[in-house]
Structure 1
Amino acid sequence: MSLYRDTGIVLRVHKLGEADRIITLLTRQRGLVRAVAKGVRKTTSRFGGRLEPFMHVDLQLAEGRSLDIITQAETINAFARDLGADYAAYTAGTAMLETAERLVQEDGEPATAQLQLLTGALRALTENRMTPSLILDSYQLRALSIAGYAPTFDGCARCGEEGPHRNFHAPSGGMLCDGCRVTGSAAPSPFTVTLLAGLLSGDWATVGTSDDRSRREASSIISAYLSWHLERGLRSLSHVDR
């Protein structure tokens, strides 16, 4: 049985039999991995709480026929400990985990950039660096960008004409000029467009000066854009405190 090591964040768990669990992880070297943790539901389990959602862990796994088996797990960052006491941060974090699982392919390819982004976003939540919903919105835009779906906010997504523009169309990839506008385009305010660009680039000075109306409008646009690329919405978003 071949062994390998990797680091990752636990995205989701579900029961398998009477004592085991299938653990879904975003890992550095192999992307999305689903592996079995044997006996993890027993009170005598050697894994303790290290294989729960949000936990950032160093792992040893054994390659299996259908699912790999986790043989060792050591905590790197116990994000679950801090997020459990803050509802707004916890729900935003849950939406991040679902976003990562949906965006990363289970193809064995490295996901270094996605893992680094998720780790940084969860750390920002636990350290209360910004309103949780804003950290979530920025994370989702940047995760989409890493996956190859970066939206355009500073120019026309179709013809490239320099902005600012006032029409947003998710299927077209972002903002559209008046000449390229299509039916069904949204018309966000200029303040919202500026906020969206700041969330994508990580310009927290700009993000911090935004008003509540722009934040709500930006969240709606990001949700629509994400849903378009994932072909359905995220269940966890309905619980996020906006």
Structure 2
Amino acid sequence: MPSYRDEGLVLRTHKLGEADRIITLLTREHGRVRAVAKGVRRTTSRFGARLEPGGHVDVMFAKGRTLDIVTQAESRGAYGAHAVGDYAAFTAVSAMLEAADRLVVEDGEPALQQFLLLLGGLRAICDQGRSPSQVLDAFLLRSLAVAGYAPSFEECARCGAPGPHQAFHASAGGMLCPDCRLPGSARPSAETVQVLGALLSGEWPVVEAADPRHLRQASGLVAAYLSWHLERGLTSLAVMER
């Protein structure tokens, strides 16, 4: 039976039969992979604990007829388990895993940038101790950009007129100039728009120096932008303390 090896992040799991699970991973070389892990729900399983959501693993797959089969898994980091004791970190990690699963559309298609963004986000929360909420917002904006939905915060999203601008509309793609402004546009403060741009570009000194009210307003706009492009919000995002 042909086999292959890859590095992956466990996005979610589903029970299969009495002792198996279907594991969905975002891998470095093969994009999103759904595979069966046989016997992992038994207490005697060799690698069941390594294949929990948020796990970073080196994994060996055997090619199957419909789903591939996990034959070996070695842990490189248990980010989901690490975050369990911190509600803010756990919900942020859960939202990142859910978003990555939703933004990678096709199984088996390479998604290296999404993999690296997710791995970097998990490390920022669990290893570097950055604010879970701000890491999540930065991850969501960058992941949307990689998926082809890059928001515009410095120029008008419709006509390209240079900013700063005062109106934000999710369906239009970001900030809008006075001539392009649409009904129902939000009017974020200039400081909030600066935070959004810093989250997208990774300017952490700007983010960390921002006023909490501007961070909260930025989080609300990120959530609205994400919901528009995914056509519905993230389940994990609804239970976050923002």
TM norm structure 1:
0.97
Residue correspondence of structure 1 range 9-24 to structure 2 within 5 A? 9-24=9-24
**Structure 1 contact 170–228 (Cα < 8 Å) conserved:** yes
Q: Which moved more, 1:129-138 or 1:9-18?
A: 129-138
User: 2: CA distance between counterparts of 1:130 and 1:47?
Assistant: 30
Which residue is 1:193 aligned to? Answer: 193
Number of residue pairs matched by the alignment: 242
Give every structure 1 segment of 4 or more consecutive aligned residues whose post-TM-superposition deviation is greater than 3 Å: none
Which residue is 1:126 aligned to? Answer: 126
User: Offset of 1:238 from its aligned partner?
Assistant: 1.3
User: Offset of 1:28 from its aligned partner?
Assistant: 1.2
User: 2: CA distance between counterparts of 1:62 and 1:105?
Assistant: 23
Which residue is 2:142 aligned to? Answer: 142
**Structure 1 contact 137–219 (Cα < 8 Å) conserved:** yes
Seq. identity, %? 61
1:163 aligns with 2:163: yes
User: 1: CA distance between counterparts of 2:112 and 2:190?
Assistant: 34
Q: Secondary structure at the match of 2:49?
A: coil
Residue correspondence of structure 1 range 6-155 to structure 2 within 5 A? 6-155=6-155
Which residue is 1:215 aligned to? Answer: 215
Q: Which moved more, 1:90-99 or 1:22-31?
A: 22-31
User: 1: CA distance between counterparts of 2:167 and 2:124?
Assistant: 31
User: Offset of 1:236 from its aligned partner?
Assistant: 0.5
Q: Any idea what the Cα deviations from partners look like across 1:122-161, whole Å, max 9, x if unmatched?
A: 0111135322101100010011111111100000011101
The alignment yields a C-alpha RMSD, in angstroms, of: 1.0
**Structure 1 contact 33–106 (Cα < 8 Å) conserved:** no
Unaligned stretches of 5+ in structure 2? none
Q: Secondary structure at the match of 1:49?
A: helix
Q: Secondary structure at the match of 1:8?
A: strand
Q: Secondary structure at the match of 1:74?
A: strand
User: 2: CA distance between counterparts of 1:201 and 1:19?
Assistant: 44
User: Offset of 1:215 from its aligned partner?
Assistant: 1.1
User: 1: CA distance between counterparts of 2:3 and 2:81?
Assistant: 29
User: Offset of 1:121 from its aligned partner?
Assistant: 0.6
Which residue is 2:206 aligned to? Answer: 206
User: 1: CA distance between counterparts of 2:67 and 2:33?
Assistant: 9
User: 2: CA distance between counterparts of 1:4 and 1:16?
Assistant: 23
Q: Which moved more, 1:194-203 or 1:29-38?
A: 29-38
Unaligned stretches of 5+ in structure 1? none
Which residue is 1:179 aligned to? Answer: 179
**Structure 2 contact 80–93 (Cα < 8 Å) conserved:** no
User: 1: CA distance between counterparts of 2:89 and 2:3?
Assistant: 36
